[in-house]
Structure 1
Amino acid sequence: MSPTQVVVIVLVVLVIAALAAAVAVRASRRRELRNRFGPEYDRVVAEHADRGAAEKELRARQRRHAELTLTPLSPESRARYTAAWEEVQLRFVDTPAEAVGDADALVGRLVAERGYPTGDFDEQAAHLSVEHGRTLARYREAHEIHLRNERGEASTEELRQAVVHYRALVTDLLGGEPTTADTEIPHDATSR
């Protein structure tokens, strides 16, 4: 084998190794984003023309999120929000439309106290997605039902579902495990 052939073979091997390393790094970053954002990753990818643009947006969210000054809740605040949430759930039986409005307002106060921006819903959701991506789809759905409720377009069953969705985010923001059970919002309230 000539020295030129050896050099060419070595260069080809180096190029292949570099490409393999680049693919491995990209796959690792993608896996990290999927783990971090959960279902929100898939939603953002579906929203964009290509996966690269979606992942760029998610990394930008992480950078903006890192600039926030988030504060944990004091035990007193946690107890106050827990009691307020229990009250919202109890009020649902008699006044479901008002309870959904109260749930949305409670989430807004809780998010603000934690240090998240509270102005634009989409901006708020983007910030929440970094740490609460697993419950964010439920929050989006609850908020959409809340907006339909304000227009008088939501059924009682949809209102019940909104409260269940809000509960998942409230639980997550309070530091508990997100819940999927519908046990605390009675179905018989939907017969009104």
Structure 2
Amino acid sequence: MVWLIVIVAVLAVLAVGCALGLPRLRTRRLRERFGAEYERALRGHGDDVRAAERDLSDRVRRSRELHLRPLAPADQERARQRLAEVQELFVDDPGRAVAEAERQLAELLDRIGYPADGRPEALSVRHAGALPGYRTALGTLERAQAVQVGTEELRSALLAVRELTRQVLTAEPVEPPGPAAPALRKAPAPRTN
């Protein structure tokens, strides 16, 4: 009888420990995965941790439903070449170069299968580290259409778009859900410049 009480007590302590520890573990994993995007989601939900974490967890779940398609090596090389051309254009026309880089990235993301609606949120699951710079670049582009934006700000925007483009080009493809999903080809190893 004493052993039964001890076993029940140990199980109760373990249950309480799990109940208290699992939310912390979830928070830690989401913070590690999303980085600055975690803090952005938290602010966006009025510092409501549960709502922010539910939002981020929903992003992960929705990302599993995406049918991302890998680019053929020739298409990847073409995208890299176009990005290099845009960087050269920056010398003569910084504003146009940044706008062209963003347009090329949008086309690339369309081809891969990222949704146009909610794109930054979809990108945050696999490219959270590059997302703050990309969001800033989008803001810079919007302001550049209305007012004069400095070359340094445009340069930072171009670098952010370039970084996200490079990450997308070198990302491992994701298997679509389901047992009958066709195997996707592995992306080639990233090139160093």
Distance in 1 (alpha carbons) for counterparts of 2:44 and 2:148: 26
Among the aligned pairs, what percent are the same residue? 37
Match of 1:37 in 2: 34
Report the secondary structure of 1:174's partner residue. helix
The range that moved more, 35-44 or 158-167, is 35-44
TM-score, length-normalised on structure 2? 0.80
Q: State the 1:12 CA deviation.
A: 6.0
Q: 1:150 aligns with which of 142, 145, 149?
A: 145
SS in 1 for 2:128: helix
Does 2:135 match 1:140?
Answer: yes
Give the deviation of 1:27 after TM superposition: 2.1
Q: Which of 11, 15, 35 is equivalent to 1:18? A: 15
Provide the C-alpha distance between the structure 2 equivalents of 1:57 and 1:153, rounded to a whole number of angstroms: 36
Equivalent of 1:117 in 115, 118, 123: 115
The structure with more radius of gyration: 1
1:23 and 1:151 mapped to 2: Cα distance? 50
1:104-135 Cα shifts (integer Å, max 9, x gaps): 101101111111012x4xx1000000101110
Greater percentage in helix:
1
Letter in 2 for 1:47: G
How big is the shift at 1:30?
1.9
CA distance in 1: counterparts of 2:20 and 2:80, whole angstroms: 46
Q: What is the rounded CA distance, in whole Å, between the counterparts of 1:143 and 1:152 in structure 2? A: 14
**2:59 maps to which residue?**
61
- Using the alignment, how far apart are the partners of 1:153 and 1:48 within structure 2? 33
Aligned equivalents of 1:127, 1:76: Cα separation in 2: 25
Letter of the structure 2 residue corresponding to residue 82 of structure 1: R
For 1:160, the equivalent position in structure 2 comes to 155
CA distance in 1, matches of 2:113, 2:20: 37
Name the structure 1 match of 2:97. Answer: 99
* Letter paired with 2:167: D
SS in 1 for 2:114: coil
Q: CA deviation at 1:44?
A: 1.0
Q: Which amino acid aligns with 2:114?
A: Y
Q: Structure 2 counterpart of 1:41, which letter? A: Y
| TM-score (structure 1 length as normaliser) | 0.80
| 3-state SS of 2:90 partner | helix
Which amino acid counterpart does residue 124 of structure 2 have in structure 1? S
Q: Helix, strand or coil for the counterpart of 2:129?
A: helix
CA distance in 2, matches of 1:140, 1:28: 28
1:147 shift after superposition = 0.7
Equivalent-residue separation in structure 2 for 1:40 and 1:78 (angstroms) = 27
Q: Which moved more, 1:165-174 or 1:152-161?
A: 152-161
